[in-house]
Structure 1
Amino acid sequence: MRRSLMRITFRQLQVFRTVCETRSYSRAAEEMALTQPAVSLQIRQLEELVGQPLFEYLGKKLYLTDAAEALQRASTDIFGRLDNLDMQLSDLRGSMQGQLNLAVESSAKYITPHLFAAFRREHPEVSLQLLVVNHAQAVKRLSVSRDDLLIMSQVPTDMDLEFLPFLDNPIIAVAPPEHPLSHAAKLSLQDLTAWPLLVREPGSGTRKAGEEYLRQKRAHFAQTIQVASLDALCEGVIAGLGVALLPRHAVHLELASGLLRELPVAELPLYRSWCLVHPRGKRLSPVAQAFFTFIREERSQISALAMRFAGTPIRPDQG
């Protein structure tokens, strides 16, 4: 190893990683409570040790050089190993400590905090960093192993992944209570096609699952309305813009309050499974491994949560 690399400091790597994330010297300085000249100096010293430029401007945008991308991968590994060491030392002291970096598809964001709360009752010193993404973003993050674990449905079959299905994700048809279809005793998917269908943005897992199922059932909607977020889509249905296919977990409060009504469609619910996913061969941190084990072994707690989100009362013998 070149001796110059041995002189790289953790502080320089922290500054470098912040510049990579923000793509701006000034924003990196603001985040780290430094002056911009101090950030520039740290990067300049780091470039001298590496022996190559790390950033270049094209127009007004800051881009990473090949050397910066290599250093970014190395720094992620270095800080990841330090995090693991911290967790292992905590484990040796008899307590689980550390942070779980978890990415979830947007329709899983409603149930995930409850899963983590159940886990944290056993490990109260563990913290959570939760990132909400759509399906396409989740796949991209898996390809570069950005997170400890991901929660997603429709696990990609063309990637080498380890995944654990742990909870049904029922997708249902919903409409506001005053909608004509809300009073029907029985419906088919074809009955829905006379109304506009509200859909998520391209890249959404719920949209992908719904579109594939509608094609399979040959149910064609003449009009669709695209909405950028699940919450906005839900509000659009409440406002009477159309009907939608949504995960039951995501609209359980609206169903319970009467703002939405589940339509009695014979071909629904469409069942998919929520899965806990990571690249095969990835070395999980002690915290991530503990969470994976918890999800695998605590099926009774997870089933109780699922019943609560389905609006089903939990009997004492199920709690």
Structure 2
Amino acid sequence: MNYTLNQLQIFLKIVQTQSVTKASEELHLTQPAVSIQLRNFQDQFDIPLTEVIGRKIYITDFGREIAKAAEVIIQQVHAINYKTMAYKGQLTGRLKISVVSTGKYVMPYFLSQFMQQHPGIELEMDVTNKQKVIESLENNEVDFALVSILPKNLSIEKLDLLQNKLFLVGNPYKPVENKENVKDFFESLPLIFREKGSGTRQTMEKFINQNHISVLKKMELTSNEAVKQALLAGLGFSIMPLIGIRNELRNNELQIIPMKGLPIKTDWSLIWLKEKKHSPVSEAFLQFLQKQKESIAHETFSWYEKY
């Protein structure tokens, strides 16, 4: 046996995601690189770890046992790294954050300086839709979550980081008929929605319901990037967070369409369970944000103020 730590990590991620493609995305590796490492790892065993039926990969019972052992080994390696850093007097441990998909344009900027100050900290940031973010928080699987709509049935505490603004957005070359009545205007547009479970979708539907709008033409896409590409192609219009379309506005590839009742304003809030017992790492991050959030917002998002 001559397998490497890298091969153990790759195999464990494949088991967790049930997909070579998803594993490569989460590990920030190319799919061929992951496939090669999986093959090299499997070649060291006489019993198959996986089997492929059609285009889907399945983990064998033996493969699952190996994955359990791999997880223990990786945890021990992390423990060695933590103890080494701690011996040097550095803050060590993991910081786990779940972020709604559009929050990927926000959260990294509030993490960068903190992570540079504490190289012994390992970051796990899961980017997904609002429903899954809240589930991970409720199950106490993460230290914090970043949302733009606060959960109603969960006892939480919060720290507001940045205002969230949502505008009606479309292709600048697609003609729009001017109508003073908001209801008439929207009912004439092909609208593009995010998937169910998305916070942006929830905000958009709330606006539509409040204005008693009947949506006749609509399209549903599963990511903010997919919606943006559809808008760029002229497939329709959508209510989108300003944070994700800075470059497209600057390059005149998208336009904001002035409309009564818009923009919708919420806050990007870091939230955590009210009874949460913070680790030294998460407590240090919270203290860092309380001191630095305003300067980070001003330095990084000053462009935001002109809209």
Distance 1:18 1:244 in 2: 35
Map residues 268-283 of structure 1 onto 2, 5 A cutoff.
268-283=262-277
Three-state SS of the structure 1 residue aligned to 2:105 is coil
Structure 1 residues 94-141: Cα deviation after superposition (integer angstroms, max 9, x where no partner):
433343222100011112222211333433443422211101111221
Three-state SS of the structure 1 residue aligned to 2:142 is coil
Q: Which residue of 1 is the match for residue 210 of structure 2?
A: 216
Match of 1:246 among 218, 240, 258: 240
Distance 2:126 2:188 in 1: 37
**Contact 1:88–1:286 (Cα < 8 Å) also in 2:** no
Q: Which residue of 1 is the match for residue 197 of structure 2?
A: 203
- Which consecutive unaligned segments of at least 5 residues does structure 2 have? 1-8, 20-33, 48-55, 60-67
Distance 1:187 1:260 in 2: 23
Code of the residue aligned with 2:162 in structure 1: it is L
Map residues 7-46 of structure 1 onto 2, 5 A cutoff.
21=16
Q: Which residue of 2 is the match for residue 162 of structure 1?
A: 157
Map residues 1-12 of structure 1 onto 2, 5 A cutoff.
none
Q: Percent identity?
A: 24
Shift of 1:287: 2.0
Code of the residue aligned with 1:168 in structure 2: it is Q
Match of 2:253 among 254, 259, 264: 259
Structure 1 residues 210-249: Cα deviation after superposition (integer angstroms, max 9, x where no partner):
1012101223322111112110111111111111001100
Shift of 1:178: 1.4
Code of the residue aligned with 2:273 in structure 1: it is P
Is 2:269 the counterpart of 1:285? no
Code of the residue aligned with 1:140 in structure 2: it is E
**Contact 1:200–1:230 (Cα < 8 Å) also in 2:** yes
Distance 1:129 1:194 in 2: 43
Change in 2 beyond 3 A, CA 1:22/1:266: closer
Is 2:144 the counterpart of 1:139? no
Shift of 1:39: 12
Q: Which residue of 2 is the match for residue 5 of structure 1?
A: none
Q: Which residue of 1 is the match for residue 4 of structure 2?
A: none
Distance 1:264 1:187 in 2: 12
**Contact 1:174–1:260 (Cα < 8 Å) also in 2:** yes
Code of the residue aligned with 1:196 in structure 2: it is P
Shift of 1:302: 3.3
Shift of 1:154: 1.7
Change in 2 beyond 3 A, CA 1:22/1:261: closer
Give the structure-2-normalised TM-score. Answer: 0.71
Match of 1:114 among 99, 109, 114: 109
**Contact 1:199–1:244 (Cα < 8 Å) also in 2:** yes
Q: More displaced, 297-306 or 195-204?
A: 297-306
Give the structure-1-normalised TM-score. Answer: 0.69
Change in 2 beyond 3 A, CA 1:168/1:62: same
Is 2:148 the counterpart of 1:173? no
Map residues 47-62 of structure 1 onto 2, 5 A cutoff.
none
**Contact 1:165–1:274 (Cα < 8 Å) also in 2:** yes
Distance 2:164 2:154 in 1: 22
Change in 2 beyond 3 A, CA 1:106/1:23: closer
**Contact 2:147–2:270 (Cα < 8 Å) also in 1:** yes
**Contact 2:82–2:92 (Cα < 8 Å) also in 1:** yes
Distance 2:278 2:211 in 1: 41
Shift of 1:146: 1.6
Distance 1:99 1:182 in 2: 52
Q: Which residue of 1 is the match for residue 98 of structure 2?
A: 103
Three-state SS of the structure 2 residue aligned to 1:265 is coil
Change in 2 beyond 3 A, CA 1:187/1:265: farther
Distance 1:143 1:207 in 2: 21
Which entry has the higher C-alpha Rg, 1 or 2? Answer: 1
